[in-house]
Amino acid sequence: MFNKFRIGKKGENIIFGTFVLLYIGWCVNSPDMNIESLKSVLTIGLSVGIIYGLVALGISLIYTGLDVVNFSHGEFFMIGAFAGLTMFNLLGNQDWIFNLFPDAYGWIIYVVCLFTAFVSMGLFGVFIERVFLRPLTKKGGGYTVAGMGIIICGFGLSVVLINVAYLIWNPVAKPFPAELGLPMEIGGLFLPITYIWMIVVGLSVAAGLWFFLNKTKMGLGIRAVAYSKDVSNLVGINVPLYISIIFGIACAIAGIGGTLVGPTYQVVVFMGYIILMKAFAAAVVGGFGNLPGAIVGGFTVGIFETASSFYISGSHKDLYAFLLMIVVLMIKPTGFFGVQVKMKA
C-alpha cells in the first residue's frame, strides 16, 4: 500500500519521457499558449484533479480492503453532492444563522454541508456494505468466486442508486449557490474561490486519511486487514467490522468530493458515472491500490485533461483521461507507484 516512489526501468522512463516531451511540444505550439493560460490551466487542473484523486482514493481504499473494484463509487459521489445540497437548502433560508455570523455566513453553511456529506455518506456506505455486500464478502472478497459477484453487484448498485436519486431529486440539474466570497487574486489571475477551496479541502482530507491510517490504532487495523484477513483475524481484529469501516470511509470521502464539486459545476443525477471512470483512470495512473498514488494520479489526470482541452481540442475533453490511462498502461502497467501483486496468506 505504501511503496516507495519509482517510475520504472530505464527503458520505460525513456519512452515515457519521449511521450511527455512530445505532448509538451504540442501544447507549446498551440496559439493559445501564454503564461496566463498556463496559470489557469494549472489551477483548474489541480482542482479538478483533487476531485478525481478523492474518488480514486476511495476506489483504492476499497480495493486494498476487499480486493475488488467498487463500480458504484461514482454514485456515492453523486449522492454526497445531493446530501450537501439538501443541507444547504435547509440552512440557506435560516435567518438566525445569518444574524449570528453575518460575516462568515456562507462559509459556515458550506462547512456544515461538507460535514453533512461526510457523515451521511459514511453511514450510507456502511449500510450498503452491511446489507448488500456482506453476504458476498462473507464468502471471501476478491480472488474468489464471490469477488466477481461483488463487482457485478457494484454495477447493479450503481443503476439502482441512480434511479433512487432520480426519484428523490428528479433529473434536472440543480445549482449549488454557495456564497464563498469574491474571486481571489493569485499571481495576477482572478479565480473563483471554490477552486482554491477544493484543493485545500481535498488535500486536507487526503492528509487526514494518511494520518488516520498511519498514526492511529484503528488505522493500523485497517492496514492489517488490507494486507491479510487471516492474520488480522488471528491477532484479534474484528475483520467484518473493519471492512465496513473501510467502505464507510471510502464513501465518506467520495461524499466530500461531491459537495466540493457542487458550487463549481452543478448537481445532477448523472454526474457520478463520468467521475467514476476518470477516477478509475486516475487510480490506474497512480498505481492501483496505492493511496498517495491515487492523489498523484488524480492531479496528473486533472492537469492533463485541462491542458489538452485548452491547447489541443476542447470538444474531446472526456477522451484525454483515458488516453493517458492507455499510455501509462502500455508503458508501465503498474502505474506510477506500482504495487506488486499482493501476496495472499
Q: Does 148 bind other proteins (CB under 8 A)?
A: no
Q: Which residues contact 137 (CB under 8 A, 6 or more apart)?
A: 66, 129, 146, 150, 240, 243
Least separation in angstroms between residue 342's CB and other proteins is 11
Cβ-count burial 269-292 (b if 16+ within 10 Å, e if not)? bebbbebbbbbbbbbbbbbbbbbb
Q: Which cell numbers hold the place of 8?
A: 520504472
Cα–Cα dist 57/62, whole Å: 9
Helix 291-311 and helix 320-331: axis angle, to 10°?
Answer: 130
Q: Which residues pair with 186 in a beta bridge?
A: 189
Task: Write the interaction track for other proteins spanning residues 282-321; mark x where CB under 8 A is met and - where it is not.
Answer: ----------------------------------------
Least separation in angstroms between residue 237's CB and other proteins is 6
Least separation in angstroms between residue 217's CB and other proteins is 7
Cα–Cα dist 55/48, whole Å: 11
Query: What are the residue ranges of helices labelled H in 67-174?
Result: 73-92, 95-100, 105-128, 134-138, 145-169
Whether the Cβ atoms of residue 336 and residue 285 lie closer than 8 Å to each other: yes
CB nearer other proteins, residue 8 or residue 240: 240
User: Which SS3 state, helix, strand or coil, does residue 104 take?
Assistant: coil
User: Which SS3 state, helix, strand or coil, does residue 57 take?
Assistant: helix
The residues in 42-81 that bind other proteins, with binding defined as CB under 8 A, are none
CB nearer other proteins, residue 26 or residue 211: 211
Applying CB under 8 A, the span of 221-229, 255-263, 275-283, 306-314 interacting with other proteins comes to 221-229
Cell numbers 495576477: residue: 188
The residues in 314-343 that bind other proteins, with binding defined as CB under 8 A, are 343
Q: Which of 58, 147, 221, 263 binds other proteins (CB under 8 A)?
A: 221
Least separation in angstroms between residue 238's CB and other proteins is 5
CB nearer other proteins, residue 182 or residue 343: 343
Least separation in angstroms between residue 293's CB and other proteins is 14
Least separation in angstroms between residue 3's CB and other proteins is 8
Q: Does 1 bind other proteins (CB under 8 A)?
A: yes
Of 197, 188, 184, 183, nearest to 47 (Cα)? 197
Q: Which cell numbers hold the place of 209?
A: 486519511
Least separation in angstroms between residue 90's CB and other proteins is 40
Q: Does 220 bind other proteins (CB under 8 A)?
A: yes
Total binding residues for other proteins by CB under 8 A? Answer: 21
CB nearer other proteins, residue 183 or residue 240: 240
The residues in 223-252 that bind other proteins, with binding defined as CB under 8 A, are 223-224, 227-228, 230-231, 233-240
Contact footprint for other proteins (CB under 8 A): 1-2, 217, 220-221, 223-224, 227-228, 230-231, 233-240, 343, 345
